Amino acid sequence: MTFITVIYGDNERRLFNPQCSSLVLLESIRKHCIKELENEELILDLSDVEGNIKHLPDNLHTYASGFLDGRKQYYLIKVTRHKNVDNQQPPQYTLMLENGDKLCPELTKHLQNLSKPVIRQRRESQWTTLRKKLPKSMKSGERVRPRGSAGKKHR
């Protein structure tokens, strides 16, 4: 049996068994790691040291061990999903660790970058890209005869 370590709060650590559904694991984490005063509808997830979010709330009926490696440490994060029609805004990830910006600044920065909305640049049309690749004689609108057809008459 392999366990995972969840880091949360004031740099507290607690062992959990991932050999259960993600729903059961997250409820156990909520029960043992979150203060009673906090909102019960809080969405929790885990992130490894590199900032890879495990997306456990999206896979509640799947075994958590499929997403988590035993004997590893994971940070508890809060997920805030924005309620808008077009779902263009990514979820906001917050490290649930006091002084997280001092204890693990790289992870905090990575989670902030994941929470930023993606700004899409306007793509050039396919025709503009094609025109850039064509020889100059084709761009000006001149007709170029295929090689070997010069001087031949078509019947």
Work out the pLDDT band at 85, boundaries 50, 70, 90: low
Q: Rounded mean pLDDT of the chain?
A: 82
Let me know if domain 4-115 sits in CATH 3.40.1350.
no
Q: Where are the domains of the chain?
A: 4-115
Q: Tell me, letter by letter, the H, E, C secondary structure of the chain.
A: CCCEEEEEECCEEEEECCCCEHHHHHHHHHHHHCCCCCCCCCEEEEECCCCCECCHHHHCCCEHHHCCCCCCEEEEEEEECCCCCCCCCCCEEEECECCHHHHCHHHHHHHHHHHCCCCCCCCCCHHHHHHHHCCHHHHCCCCCCCCCCCCCCCC
Taking only the tens place, the pLDDT of each residue in 27-72 is 999 999 987 656 667 899 999 999 999 999 999 999 999 999 999 9
pTM of the predicted protein model: 0.71
